[in-house]
Structure 1
Amino acid sequence: MTTPQEELLPQTRRALLHRVAVGQAEGRAPSMVAAVVRGGRTVWTEARSSVDGHGPDENVQYRIGSITKTFTAVLVLRLRDEGLLDLQDPLEKHLPGTRAGEVTVAQLLAHTGGLAAESPAPWWERSSASLRPELGDVLGERPFLHPVGRRFHYSNPGYTLLGALVEKLRDAPWADVLRRELLEPLGLDRTSAQPQAPHAGGWAVHPWADVLLPEPTEDLGIMASAGQLWSTAADLARFAVFLTEGDDRVLSAESVREMRNPAAPGEAADIVDGVGYGLGLQLQRRDKRLLVGHSGSLPGFLANLVISVEDDVAAVVLANCTSGPLIASIGADLLGIVADAEPRIPAPWKPLREVDPEALELAGQWYWGTHGFALRVTADGLVSLEPLAGRGRRSRFRANGDGTWTGLEGYYAGELLKAVRRPDGSVSHLDLGSFVFTRQPYDNGASVPGGVHPDGWQGIG
């Protein structure tokens, strides 16, 4: 139940309804269900159906296809956080004998391992899993199509390997590990490897006639970790909250943030649209808004989960048809309707309870050569360094407890920021990965690489 402050305005709700209604009608989907999340809870749901009186609600299961990959990625990050693997480990270290052992765990997560997009014929989504009982049957005779680590190439076999990795290190079936470590702690009771009533049936809609054909529902077997799951709009809405905030029972906010960071670019043709991939999450820049999430499809079903962390809004759209509705666009539009019509209201500003005196001493204006920068101490206990004007390198920094700070993003991610002091204890300059920042442009009282001309600043005579 939402509080009055969380309720959407009537005109926003109507705009959301209109978008879903148009999407279902123009996309000729037998049914469509959607949900919007804001402020950590579901604030709107809607369903449309071609059968009068039988519209689904947010608790009806649909197959979610490759959104399953995000669940699998969470399980792998849990293994990393427990110290059971490193993302840079080659697969061979933990799962020998696959013929794809040189690929790292991180490359599998980001689809940069060079593996084929699909398993060998017949089409795995529409054929029995008994045809592929072993990993070798999934990888085929030619596992690699591209040099390892050189380019993004979406790979279902890659996430099959990750599922096998989870099973090996947990000594339990992937579905059992998923239920125990993710679904139960997050309360995703209507997400499962096998369909549970009530669930939608999958349909193909004829491209040139308004008639339907039932789609088969195959168990994906060993490839389950790439696309097996069934879920609901309500469960995926809760999963969206987790992917925004983290949950220490499953994965910390820091590790979830790592999943959302770009780990692989899109194809060259996608660069103009700002498409990329993190660790189990698709990334897209749309209308100056960074969207993270994942889409999914299997014969008879389409699914989309999309989040704008900055706006604190997420959307879920599910349909039971093989093709037709542009479901990713519908999800992005639903999110944009809410974020644009009812912008996020920031929390009240509050001062720091405690401040690091050393950080406060460094606050203010600095110069890298002639480029002006501002160093600020922020309410979250970090320091930020950003250009005073225009675009340029910027980053937040986390204190290390020894008078140094580590960059968290951008060009300075992982770089060390430290104050260099004179014998009397006063600050000479800041050293940031060998870049010298001084209080004045080319301060002759600081140790500027290459020195400062003895005549100082001068006009043209």
Structure 2
Amino acid sequence: MTTPFEELLPTTRRALLHRIAVAQSEGRSPSLVAAVARDGHLVWTGSRTSVDGHGPDENVQYRIGSITKTFTAVLVLRLRDEGLLDLGDPLEKHLPGTGAGEVSIAELLAHTGGLAAETPGEWWERSSAALRPTLADVLGERPFRHPVGRRHHYSNPGYTLLGSLIEKVRGVSWEQALRTEILEPLGLSRTSAQPQMPHAGGWAVHPYADVMMPEPGEDLGLMAAAGQLWSTTRDLAVFAAFLATGDERVLSAESVREMRTPAAPELPGAEGSSYGLGMQVLRRKGRTLAGHSGSLPGFVAGLWLSEQDGLAAVVLANCTSGVSAATVAAELLLTVAEAEPRIPAPWRPLPAVDSSVMELVGPWYWGTQTVALRLTTEGGVELGPVAAGGGRGSRFRANGDGTWTGLDGYYAGELLQAVRRPDGSVSHLDLGSFVFTRKPYDEDAPVPGGVHPDGWQGLPQ
């Protein structure tokens, strides 16, 4: 009998190995390591060539660049969930005097604050942090390139501001907050701000000759929250599982779902791509992938997860360019999803059900459109069209008072409640002012605009 974490089939393993072999060979990376996880458990790892003469494995550190931003975003969402700030707050409220304080925290997370993509002066990724000792040096005299909130414009200085915000509100360094609030609870013992042996060295490969040059491994200083971290495929697979399901020790399932939800316009020139709160979001082959890419001189990285498949894939390489780690990671994930689709959990009846909720399940009508209310195994409800392609739908979580709040889709954040008559019977469902009735335009329900007194009619002769 198979288990969800059984090793992948030989044909799937060969397809994955072939993909990373092509990526390493054609991309001319000194080494490349990859992993695929299902429901948080590694089901495949692979590598090509060596680090210090040894084949890299899932415990060898590589620099992960901007995947660091997702860790930083988790720290910010924790502050929000603790009531220490609101994502709509202007930065100035918590971190005054930056010169960019009009930008909201949410806009910084989603790269919609209009800030410059990079710092003024030298190429910050290859230069000493001593050149940027203050936020003024990071932002420069002209921190904005676009109107605030109008478009997505990726900004490394924006995440530097978020790192400083975390330090100001917490009263500890960004690195200490990261270690105590994320790394230790999740058991990410091989993720760190500074490299720990065994780790790969970063290399630049000449574009027209098969020769290499070591890249400098700078400490990013104030820019650390944008790209400082080193990690492994094993640790990142565990982190990806957390980003899919949440962990109450770190961040709830609802909050990580919020991170994965697009919060910015579709990216220019990248159809199906958007950005959430510290996470990139892709649509590929009918699936939604969430994660992040990363790069620093000498390294490229990619991490993607698919909640619906319970899969995550990670690719790390030690070259400045040549390998699209994020593209390869997405292809590894999709290869497994298509070759070995997730085996559904066995259906089981609910252990108990509230009779007042059971009274609500079944068909309802919004005007003449038929929808159905269903109970979910998580204790919430789901409202959606009866026929495929028939309209809007959302999942809802129970609020504990007989109402539900939308989790996704058109009704995300909206309140669903049953309206009862004086005798206790159900009159209708109210959802964000929409009235759902048990029959089309029920004359006994308060349908907006009223119901014609002559009722339903045929074509006059």
> Over residues 304-334 of structure 1, what are the superposed CA-to-partner deviations in whole Å (9 max), with x where a residue is unaligned?
1110111001001000001001211110111
SS in 2 for 1:265: coil
How many residues get paired? 458
Counterpart residue number, 2:303: 305
Identity within the alignment, %: 75
SS in 1 for 2:269: helix
In the aligned structure 2, how far is the partner of 1:59 from the partner of 1:352?
A: 41
Counterpart residue number, 2:9: 9
Counterpart residue number, 1:424: 423
Counterpart residue number, 1:94: 94
Aligned partner letter, 1:210: D
CA deviation after TM superposition for structure 1 residue 5, in Å: 5.1
Structure 1 residue ranges, 4+ long, deviating more than 3 angstroms after superposition: 2-5, 50-53
Instruction: Kindly report which structure 2 residues correspond to 1:350-365, keeping only aligned pairs within 5 A, or say none.
Output: 350-365=348-363
Instruction: Kindly report which structure 2 residues correspond to 1:262-277, keeping only aligned pairs within 5 A, or say none.
Output: 262-270=262-270, 273-277=271-275
Instruction: Kindly report which structure 2 residues correspond to 1:99-178, keeping only aligned pairs within 5 A, or say none.
Output: 99-178=99-178
TM-score, length-scaled by structure 1 = 0.96
Counterpart residue number, 1:205: 205
CA deviation after TM superposition for structure 1 residue 43, in Å: 1.2
Do the aligned residues in 1 keep the contact of 2:4 with 2:343 (CA within 8 Å)? Answer: no
In the aligned structure 2, how far is the partner of 1:398 from the partner of 1:253?
A: 12
In the aligned structure 1, how far is the partner of 2:444 from the partner of 2:402?
A: 22
Aligned partner letter, 2:44: W
> Over residues 393-444 of structure 1, what are the superposed CA-to-partner deviations in whole Å (9 max), with x where a residue is unaligned?
1112222333322222222122222222233322222221221111111122
Q: Which runs of 5+ in 1 are unaligned?
A: none
> Over residues 435-460 of structure 1, what are the superposed CA-to-partner deviations in whole Å (9 max), with x where a residue is unaligned?
11111111222221111122221211
In the aligned structure 2, how far is the partner of 1:426 from the partner of 1:152?
A: 49
Aligned partner letter, 1:80: R
Distance change >3 Å, CA 5–CA 141, structure 1 → 2: closer
Please identify, of 74-83 and 315-324, the stretch whose mean Cα deviation from structure 2 is larger. 74-83
SS in 2 for 1:236: helix
In the aligned structure 2, how far is the partner of 1:96 from the partner of 1:239?
A: 32
Counterpart residue number, 1:216: 216
Matched, 1:235 2:232: no
Distance change >3 Å, CA 245–CA 421, structure 1 → 2: closer
CA deviation after TM superposition for structure 1 residue 100, in Å: 0.8
In the aligned structure 2, how far is the partner of 1:274 from the partner of 1:75?
A: 27
CA deviation after TM superposition for structure 1 residue 50, in Å: 6.3
The correspondence for 2:366, drawn from 365, 368, 386, is 368
Distance change >3 Å, CA 133–CA 348, structure 1 → 2: same
Matched, 1:402 2:401: yes
Counterpart residue number, 1:251: 251
In the aligned structure 2, how far is the partner of 1:121 from the partner of 1:401?
A: 54
Please identify, of 440-449 and 300-309, the stretch whose mean Cα deviation from structure 2 is larger. 440-449
Distance change >3 Å, CA 247–CA 423, structure 1 → 2: closer
Do the aligned residues in 1 keep the contact of 2:245 with 2:256 (CA within 8 Å)? Answer: yes
SS in 1 for 2:359: helix
Do the aligned residues in 2 keep the contact of 1:152 with 1:267 (CA within 8 Å)? Answer: yes
CA deviation after TM superposition for structure 1 residue 178, in Å: 1.1
Aligned partner letter, 1:386: G
In the aligned structure 1, how far is the partner of 2:249 from the partner of 2:12?
A: 34
Do the aligned residues in 2 keep the contact of 1:394 with 1:412 (CA within 8 Å)? Answer: yes
Counterpart residue number, 1:338: 336
Matched, 1:279 2:277: yes
In the aligned structure 1, how far is the partner of 2:239 from the partner of 2:416?
A: 36
Counterpart residue number, 1:19: 19
Instruction: Kindly report which structure 2 residues correspond to 1:415-454, keeping only aligned pairs within 5 A, or say none.
Output: 415-454=414-453
The root-mean-square deviation of aligned C-alpha atoms, in Å, is 1.6
> Over residues 205-263 of structure 1, what are the superposed CA-to-partner deviations in whole Å (9 max), with x where a residue is unaligned?
11111111211111111101100111111111111121122222222222212211111
The correspondence for 2:384, drawn from 386, 395, 403, is 386
TM-score, length-scaled by structure 2 = 0.96
CA deviation after TM superposition for structure 1 residue 21, in Å: 0.6
Aligned partner letter, 1:236: L
In the aligned structure 1, how far is the partner of 2:327 from the partner of 2:4?
A: 29
Do the aligned residues in 2 keep the contact of 1:359 with 1:383 (CA within 8 Å)? Answer: no
Counterpart residue number, 1:34: 34
Aligned partner letter, 1:363: V
Please identify, of 440-449 and 34-43, the stretch whose mean Cα deviation from structure 2 is larger. 440-449
CA deviation after TM superposition for structure 1 residue 375, in Å: 1.0
Distance change >3 Å, CA 107–CA 52, structure 1 → 2: closer
Counterpart residue number, 2:56: 56
Distance change >3 Å, CA 102–CA 221, structure 1 → 2: same
SS in 2 for 1:384: strand
CA deviation after TM superposition for structure 1 residue 52, in Å: 10
In the aligned structure 1, how far is the partner of 2:191 from the partner of 2:283?
A: 29
In the aligned structure 1, how far is the partner of 2:450 from the partner of 2:149?
A: 41
